[in-house]
Chains A and B, each alone.
Chain A
Amino acid sequence: EAQVTQNPRYLITVTGKKLTVTCSQNMNHEYMSWYRQDPGLGLRQIYYSMNVEVTDKGDVPEGYKVSRKEKRNFPLILESPSPNQTSLYFCASSYRGTSSYNSPLHFGNGTRLTVT
């Protein structure tokens, strides 16, 4: 089944403790992206990757890192999490670029992160 898989689904951590949220897609997509979703603010892009070893900042990149060593994986790294990073995070992928006709963005089921 074609899908974007994120792990973990739920994560509670403390301020300053490094964490990684994994994302993997099995559709051979070139483009992958991370979003955070907060009430009243909608989906905001954190980082994206156009292909292997190519990453770029989105709208809200502060406090996050990413890497794209392989086509299928795009982990999100919080080196020193803070309470304002408590949010619902989504990984997404598409065949090429930021969605195109008949090749839209596919999302994972989300990771709910709480930083205390």
Chain B
Amino acid sequence: GESVGLHLPTLSVQEGDNSIINCAYSNSASDYFIWYKQESGKGPQFIIDIRSNMDKRQGQRVTVLLNKTVKHLSLQIAATQPGDSAVYFCAERLTQGYSTLTFGKGTMLLVSP
């Protein structure tokens, strides 16, 4: 929604640049991670996911990197387009008997033409 972007860190890039959005997760036992994109006025949209036994996964124009040593996740967007402007946030899943999904607060990506 329109207030989602308030108080968020912002990454500003030019159209055509590559973007890297970072996320620090909290629990070393988390076994699964997801990146979501949220455009103004819309719900979060799934981009890409990765299991904890992987360190890299590629999609169409996007790559997720997982560094378990430092509990860090990144989303790389190649050839960023104005339509990529949105809030991006990561989520981690922790399974201890039952699963819980914890969401990061997000990063606003602004792409200039």
Contacts and interface: CB of A to CB of B under 8 A. Distances in A.
A98 B93 contact: yes
Contact of B43 (A39, A98, A101, A110): A110
Interface stretch (A40-48, A61-69, A75-83): A40-48
A88 B4 CA distance: 9
Nearest to A107: B43
B86 interface: no
Contacts of A100: 32
Contact of B101 (A99, A101, A109): A99
Interface string A74-109: 000000000000001010100001111110111111
B83 to A, nearest CB: 17
Contacts of B105: 40-42
Contacts of A40: 6-7, 105
30 contacts: A39-B6, A40-B6, A40-B105, A41-B105, A42-B89, A42-B103, A42-B105, A43-B44, A45-B100, A88-B3, A88-B4, A90-B44, A97-B99, A98-B98, A98-B101, A99-B34, A99-B91, A99-B93, A99-B101, A100-B32, A101-B49, A102-B49, A105-B101, A106-B46, A107-B36, A108-B43, A109-B41, A109-B43, A110-B42, A112-B1
Given A40-B7, A88-B4, 4 more contacts: A39-B3, A43-B89, A108-B43, A110-B43
Interface of B: 1, 3-4, 6-7, 32, 34, 36, 41-46, 49, 51, 89, 91, 93, 98-101, 103-106
